[in-house]
Chain A
Amino acid sequence: MFDLKGYGPELLNGAVVTIELAFLSLALALVLGLIGAVAKLSGSRVAVGLATTYTTLIRGVPDLVMMLLFYYGGQVGVNMLSDYIWETYEVDFFFQFNPFISGVITIGLIFGAYMTETFRGAFLAVETGQIEAARAYGFSTWHTFRRVMVPQMLRHALPGIGNNWQVLLKTTALVSIIGLTDMVRVAEEAAKAERMPFHFFIPVAFVYLALTAGSELFIKWLDKRANVGVIQET
């Protein structure tokens, strides 16, 4: 039963790939989101314009289309670059654009845009009195940002980060379409070969369900911890 016709170990490896992909994309998304939010709140017209263009573009285009563009387009781009380097410097340079890298870049970029909005809202929720107090203590801008704004912003950002993470986790399934051997890909090949779709897809669906349910509990726990110093009305 749990052997899954010999595909069990392969599916397990696929699950590990899915989790790696999700965590790396999350890390990229958090970094991009922080940069995006700071850019949006910076007041500099160029930075605000760039960040707004970024979030608008991402929200207008489906994740799959973006993934296909980065995967196929990325390879063509690398090929053009390596041709150019060969012709001008006669240096042999080549690198294969793999589905994992394109997956991390695409998912990171997409959720970076959503995180930008989350962080922007969270930064705005930090009381101005806190920032004024930091100024009064002679904190520099960087110090205020790192010591006062970021720690207090995280509490407000946590629910948004949690929601984005849940969606991100499910988006990782798309990377199987561009050929990454994650668990969806393994299940699809197994289902086609054995002609038993339910036998392979339903366990995979339950792995996703377990991952989302587990993260829900974890986020709830984090949220409770982050709000420990706050009196909440019930």
Chain B
Amino acid sequence: MPPDFIAAWLNKNDIFTAMTIMEYWDGMVTTVQLVFLCLIIGLAFAVPLAILRTVKNPFVSGPVWLYTYLFRGTPLLIQLYIIYYGVAQIPGIQETFWWEIFREPFYPALLAFTLNTCAYTTEIIRGAIISTPHGEIEAAKAYGMNWFMRMRRIVLPSAARRAVQAYSNEVIFMLHSSAIASVVTIVDLTGAARNIYSRFYAPFDAFIFVALCYMVLTFILVFAFRKLENHLLRHQRPVGS
């Protein structure tokens, strides 16, 4: 049970009733789900793509370059529209089970966000991989490690350390970009705020509250990444601190 003063305040208030708070809460859950899923899937695909992107053969790295170039050079909103309006146009899709999945706006949005964040993450990881000090690779070769073991034991762990800062920016960027999911009728945090705005015609209450929600989420992420960074870079900390 909430304390009495909160209940009293909620009763006096027209806009922040228990019902609208629940709407915001549901929106928050949708936002977090959407962002979390697209980041996880995007990261999982970005690691192999980044490795392919560093391969010398242009027939291997070229397509990956084209993919990241296209998705980084166009607005996410356009990508979302193309996928959201586009899937319904694929001939014959309405008879398959895919239609059951893609009829919900959540999945086209998830696909668009995943493709977008994967492109950015690929470039971040690639940057970290190519800046591996040459000596580390030579040392690994001298120890007789083959390519796979070198990647797994030397290159990727050290690249992860160099990528984490840029990746934390990408995560926050994605959280903020996810607000456009509300455009394709998904009721995420922004969608909830837009519904409540149009019901009460109260822009300040609706949008300032939701801005605070995003801010809290952002600061949680910033804090978590700072912890992670400290953990990953603990060997570089000056002695005695």
The chain A residues found within 8 Å of chain B, CB to CB, are 57, 59-66, 68-69, 72-73, 75-76, 170-174, 176-177, 184, 187-188, 191-192, 195-198, 201-202, 204-205, 208-209, 212-213
Question: Roughly how many angstroms separate A209 CA and B67 CA in the complex, as a whole number?
Answer: 12
B179 at the A interface (CB under 8 A)? yes
In-complex Cβ contact of A176 among B77, B82, B172 (8 A): B77
**Chain B hits for A171, CB < 8 A:** 75
Check A198 against B208 for contact (C-beta < 8 Å). Answer: no
Interface digits, B154-195 against A, CB 8 Å rule (1 contact, 0 not)?
Answer: 000000000000000000100111111011000000100110
Q: B residues within 8 Å of A by Cβ?
A: 70, 73-79, 81-82, 85-86, 89, 172, 175-180, 182-183, 190, 193-194, 197, 201, 203-204, 207-208, 210-211, 214-215, 218-219
Q: Smallest distance from the beta carbon of B131 to chain A beta carbons, Å?
A: 16
- Judging by beta carbons under 8 Å apart, are A62 and B204 in contact? no
* Contact between B78 and A208, CB atoms less than 8 A apart: yes
Bound CA span A188–B85, Å: 9
Closest 10 CB pairs of A and B: A60-B215, A197-B85, A173-B75, A72-B203, A62-B176, A69-B207, A62-B179, A64-B179, A73-B203, A170-B75
Q: For the complex, what is the distance from the CA of A195 to the CA of B210, rounded to whole Å?
A: 34
Nearest B-chain residue to A204, judged by Cβ:
B78
The answer to whether B73 touches A59, judged by C-beta atoms less than 8 angstroms apart, is no
Q: Are A62 and B203 also in contact (CB < 8 A) when A170-B76, A205-B74 are?
A: no
Q: From residue A212, how far is it (CB to closest CB) to chain B in Å?
A: 5
Smallest CB gap from A212: residue in B = B73
**Contact partners of B208 in chain A: CB under 8 A:** 69
Find B211's partner among A66, A176, A195, A213 (CB 8 Å cutoff). A66
In whole angstroms, what is the CA distance A184 to B80 when docked?
12
Known contacts A61-B176, A201-B85, A212-B73, then 10 further A-B pairs from the complex at CB < 8 Å, ordered by chain A residue: A61-B218, A62-B178, A69-B203, A76-B204, A173-B78, A174-B77, A198-B86, A205-B70, A208-B74, A212-B74
Q: Check A197–B86 contact: CB distance below 8 A.
A: yes
**CA of A64 to CA of B179, assembled, Å:** 6
Chain B residues with CB under 8 A of A204: 78
